[in-house]
Amino acid sequence: MIITRFHVQNDIVFVGCPSVPISEGRSEPLKGIQIFKISLSYQKD
Protein backbone atom coordinates (compact mmCIF):
# COMPACT_ATOMS: atom_id res chain seq x y z
CA MET A 1 0.00 0.00 0.00
CA ILE A 2 1.48 3.30 -1.10
CA ILE A 3 0.14 6.49 0.41
CA THR A 4 0.22 9.18 -2.23
CA ARG A 5 -1.93 11.88 -0.67
CA PHE A 6 -2.23 12.75 2.99
CA HIS A 7 -2.07 15.63 5.43
CA VAL A 8 -1.79 15.96 9.19
CA GLN A 9 -4.28 17.95 11.24
CA ASN A 10 -4.26 17.97 15.04
CA ASP A 11 -2.29 14.71 15.33
CA ILE A 12 -4.74 13.06 12.91
CA VAL A 13 -3.57 11.77 9.55
CA PHE A 14 -6.08 12.06 6.74
CA VAL A 15 -5.12 9.56 4.03
CA GLY A 16 -6.29 9.90 0.47
CA CYS A 17 -8.27 13.01 1.29
CA PRO A 18 -8.96 15.69 -1.31
CA SER A 19 -7.14 19.00 -1.16
CA VAL A 20 -10.01 20.72 0.60
CA PRO A 21 -10.52 21.63 4.26
CA ILE A 22 -12.17 18.80 6.17
CA SER A 23 -13.55 21.07 8.88
CA GLU A 24 -15.88 22.91 6.56
CA GLY A 25 -19.20 22.47 8.29
CA ARG A 26 -18.86 18.69 8.18
CA SER A 27 -19.47 16.68 11.32
CA GLU A 28 -18.04 13.51 9.80
CA PRO A 29 -15.24 12.76 7.31
CA LEU A 30 -15.94 12.30 3.63
CA LYS A 31 -16.72 8.80 2.40
CA GLY A 32 -13.70 6.69 1.54
CA ILE A 33 -11.31 8.66 3.72
CA GLN A 34 -9.21 6.67 6.12
CA ILE A 35 -8.28 8.50 9.31
CA PHE A 36 -5.45 7.32 11.52
CA LYS A 37 -4.89 8.69 15.02
CA ILE A 38 -1.18 9.09 15.59
CA SER A 39 0.72 9.98 18.71
CA LEU A 40 3.44 12.56 18.29
CA SER A 41 6.23 12.30 20.81
CA TYR A 42 8.25 15.44 21.44
CA GLN A 43 11.05 15.79 23.94
CA LYS A 44 10.53 18.83 26.12
CA ASP A 45 13.43 20.37 27.95
User: For residue 22, is it within any domain?
Assistant: yes
Domain that holds residue 30: 6-37
Query: Is position 18 within any domain?
Result: yes
In-domain check, residue 27:
yes
pTM of the model: 0.22
Instruction: Please give the tally of structural domains in the chain.
Output: 1
Confidence (pLDDT) at 3:
47
Q: What is the distance between the alpha carbons of residues 42 and 45, in angstroms, rounded to a whole number?
A: 10
Count of CA atoms in the C-beta half-sphere (13 A) of 42: 4
pLDDT tens for residues 18-33? Answer: 545 555 555 455 454 5
